[in-house]
A and B are shown apart, each in its own frame.
Chain A
Amino acid sequence: MTFLTQVLNGLQLGSIYALVALGYTMVYGIILLLNFAHGDIIMVGAYISWIVMAQMGFHPAIAILLSVVGCTLLGVMIDKVAYAPLRNAPRLSILITAIGVSYFLENGAQLVFGADAKVVPPYFDASPLSFGSVQLSPIALLTIAVTVVSTAILTFLVQKTKLGKAMRAVSEDMGAARLMGINVNTTISFTFAVGSALAGIGAVLYAMAYTQATPTMGIMLGTKAFVAAVLGGIGSIPGAVIGGLLVGFAEVFVSAIGLSVWKDAVVFLLLIIVLIVRPTGILGRTMNEKV
């Protein structure tokens, strides 16, 4: 029974990591950028929920909607303002820009909201559901369900729509895609929008589970999700989900056996091991450097 609870916890935490990792992996897949600001987009999403519910007193549904929409717009805006002008610059420049954007968001949030944690009110009544002796957290179940549905929609979007075809084409060969008439900039914007929308959903789920927003909450969350994306094989959508779940489970089980101080270390150790044994990640494919 406690085992089941832990599995559920692992799935819940892993689902959040998976959602965030999907954003990393999509952006990396298309422009080979590790978008270090991705975690901070989640932080902004959590603050939006806090403002809408705690400050303005609106219905949680509005908070969810505005968080997701806000993150989506923020992601697209970051791309337009910070990354798009550097499309043809060396990859290191854009990577450093991403770190800069990350610091900007963290310190901006600290300036505006202060360094102390804000309490995000509950989105709904989350008293545990009892099935006989087993108690299940509705938040955990919701998180898992939302992640499954989001991943399914994302997979459908990428595999079955024209936009998805454009994304895959751009990710394989941007030059050839351009010469085949694909509008690369629009495609990249859409990728940021989709990745950031997932981050927005992640923000809401995270705020449900941990009920607070701090300016630096995106750092560890983002880093862990990044680890998850690399574990699964960066650029791969199923890889990001597998990686996210692995990281979530690793953390939960390490904590469950009483070594919770080690939970972060274990995640990074896992990364090191995978990088030694299988540098491309679990589902990653070796990529030939394009000429």
Chain B
Amino acid sequence: MTSEKKRSVLVQMEEPNLIPERDLGHIPVLQAKHLGIDFGGLTAVDDFNLAMGRTEISGLIGPNGAGKTTIFNLLTNVYKPTRGTVLLDGYDTAGKSMVQVNKMGIARTFQNIRLFSKMTVEENILVGLGNSMSTKLVTDLFRLPQHWRQEAEFHDKAMDLLAIFDMQKYAKAQAGSLPYGAQRRLEILRALGTRPKVLLLDEPAAGMNPAETEELMENIQKIRDEFQIAILLIEHDMSLVMGVCEAVGVLDYGKIIAKGTPEEIQNDPRVIEAYLGKQGVN
């Protein structure tokens, strides 16, 4: 993949030119147009535009309360947008349920880990795999031959996924008992199990130490390369965003105030002011 192709512009401020000057391959895998939501009288997100290529890694940064998680909730239909549209692989997601949107190809992790903590690690993955499983209760309950075939198949799939983060040894452990970093990794795997085209990671490095964050960066790239999916992440950890993302958008008070490559963002005075604070870093 050429760096030209990887370099993508996350946020398109000008309209109607949503995908200018660049070749995103096909239609963008994920597109948001003028997305906005109000809570009561408060505008949480306004005029958010996005176009993501099939295998790009993009980041959304911004201070606390800027609306980053709200955007994830809009993209996954947890919230119904007040304005604008989301297109997933060209298809409008309006009116779809969360389940349908997941099946259309979007999966996510959560800022505060939301694993099924009383279930085992493997079961968590199996739940994710479940959206592609078509077992009947009868085969399941009476353990018909088909059940064993499927069970073996899904066990293998789950183990393959766990292998990405070298977590096979935890398969039978209760998810809630895992160390924090491992829980975050498991959440990513569970989302991957639903075979998304776009993976949304909500602060994947939160609570991780620098060594773990480093490893996570490598893994995010590895996941992209192996699964050929687009990854959009929200992050506070600047090193992660700068290290792994090809395009970055900066959100403040629900609006995009800057966009571009990590280098451009790092040197943008508006970003330094909004995100890093007025005193400025360097």
Contact = CB atoms under 8 A, between A and B. Distances in A.
B116 A169 contact: yes
Interface stretch (A119-127, A135-143, A178-186, A243-251): A178-186
Interface in A152-183: 156-157, 160-163, 165-166, 168-169, 172-173, 175-183
A157 B140 CA distance: 9
Nearest to A178: B98
A65 B226 CA distance: 53
Contacts of B107: 179-180
B127 A180 contact: yes
Contact of B130 (A172, A178, A181): A181
A88 to B, nearest CB: 12
Given A163-B140, A169-B119, 19 more contacts: A156-B141, A162-B130, A162-B140, A163-B137, A166-B130, A168-B118, A168-B119, A168-B123, A176-B116, A177-B116, A178-B97, A179-B108, A180-B102, A180-B127, A180-B193, A181-B103, A182-B99, A182-B130, A184-B99
Max count, chain B CB within 10 A of own CB: residue among A156, A160, A166, A172:
A172
A161 B127 contact: no
Contacts of A1: none
A185 to B, nearest CB: 9
B191 interface: yes
Contacts of A129: none
Contacts of A178: 97-99, 102
B118 A180 contact: no
Q: Which 8 A-B pairs have the closest CB atoms?
A: A181-B131, A178-B98, A161-B140, A176-B114, A181-B102, A172-B116, A169-B127, A169-B116
Interface of A is mostly: helix
A172 B98 contact: no
A267 B81 CA distance: 51
B31 interface: no
B174 to A, nearest CB: 12
A176 B110 CA distance: 9
A177 B99 CA distance: 8
Given A180-B131, A181-B128, A175 B114 contact: yes
Nearest to A173: B114
Interface of B: 76, 78, 97-99, 102-103, 107-108, 110, 112, 114-119, 123, 126-128, 130-131, 133, 135, 137, 140-141, 190-191, 193-194
Contacts of B194: 180-181
Contacts of B115: 176
B147 to A, nearest CB: 9
Interface of A: 156-157, 160-163, 165-166, 168-169, 172-173, 175-184, 190, 291
Nearest to B154: A162
B116 A181 contact: no
Contacts of B140: 160-163
Given A176-B116, A291-B112, A182 B141 contact: no
A172 B119 contact: yes
A285 B117 CA distance: 13
Contacts of A168: 116, 118-119, 123
Max count, chain B CB within 10 A of own CB: residue among A162, A169, A178, A181:
A181
B190 A180 contact: yes
B3 to A, nearest CB: 33
14 contacts: A161-B141, A162-B137, A165-B119, A172-B118, A172-B119, A175-B98, A176-B114, A178-B98, A179-B78, A179-B98, A179-B108, A180-B131, A182-B127, A291-B112
Contacts of B78: 175, 179
Contacts of B98: 175, 178-179
A169 B125 CA distance: 11
A200 B236 CA distance: 54
Contacts of B133: 162
A162 B76 CA distance: 24
A191 to B, nearest CB: 13
A162 B119 contact: no
A157 B118 contact: no
A177 B137 contact: no
B135 A162 contact: yes
Nearest to A181: B131
A164 to B, nearest CB: 9
B74 to A, nearest CB: 13
Contacts of A161: 137, 140-141
Nearest to B128: A180
A177 B127 contact: yes
Contacts of A160: 140
B224 to A, nearest CB: 20
A90 B66 CA distance: 28
A190 B108 CA distance: 26
Contacts of B116: 168-169, 172-173, 176-177
A161 B194 CA distance: 18
A160 B122 CA distance: 12
